[in-house]
Structure 1
Amino acid sequence: MTSLIIRLIISTVVVIVSSRVLQGFYVDTLTTSVIVAIVMGLLNTFVKPVLQFLSIPITILTLGLFYFIINIALVYLCAYLVDGFSVSSAIAALLFSIGLSLTQWIAGWFLD
């Protein structure tokens, strides 16, 4: 349970830092940041594996680069679902998803 809370806090910090650093990436409040972290966690847990499985042929053809498109689509889906969160460029969405993935990977490495 504490591992889940620590991951949520780390994700929230990444969302806040990304909104301050990246142009084209906007988060209204701290509460919105927490909601974005929760929604991104749920999308990465439930939707992303399905999309990755369905896109295996195109991922093979693009030598794995299609995974970036999936990450961008998930960020835009999160922006659609959460009020007060917007992304105006695909580059900002890609950089956010890469930053979130890296920090979650590092957190998982230390927490597990």
Structure 2
Amino acid sequence: MKAFFLTLLAIALSLLVVDLVVPGVDLATFPAALLGAASIGVVNSFIKPILSVLSLPFNIVTLGLFSVVVNGLCFWLAAVAVPGFTVHGLFAFIFGPIVLSLVNTFLSNYFAQREPELEME
């Protein structure tokens, strides 16, 4: 249970960094970041696998680059579900998930080193 909350916190903090770094991504408050983190988790768990299977022909033709579009679509869809979390523009649509992934990887590794008994996903 502690690992779940640390993962949620890592994603929420990563969203706040994305808000600072990527123009077009706006978060109103920290609770909106927490809800956004939960929304991203739900979208990535349930909707992203379906979109990935449906977009498989495009992924094959583009040698995997269409995955960036699928990630951007999931990021935007998570933002639509949360009040106070908005994504505007193509730049935010493409680079928001990339920055989120990089920062989240760094924070998850940091938390895993601080709490080695926890298995972060």
Q: Structure 2 length normalisation: TM-score?
A: 0.82
- Which residue is equivalent to 1:17? 17
Give runs of aligned pairs for residues 27-66 of structure 1, distance below 5 A: 27-66=27-66
Query: What does the per-residue CA deviation read over 1:49-105, in whole Å, with 9 as the maximum and x for residues that have no partner?
Result: 111111111110111011011011111112221111111122223222113333444
Secondary structure of 1:72's counterpart equals helix
Aligned-residue CA RMSD (Å): 1.9
Secondary structure of 1:6's counterpart equals helix
Higher mean C-alpha displacement, 73-82 vs 61-70: 73-82
Query: What does the per-residue CA deviation read over 1:11-56, in whole Å, with 9 as the maximum and x for residues that have no partner?
Result: 0101111112221110011110100000001111111111111111
The one-letter code of the counterpart of 2:50 is V
The one-letter code of the counterpart of 1:62 is T
Return the structure number with greater helix share: 1
- Structure 2 residue runs of 5 or longer lacking an equivalent are 113-117
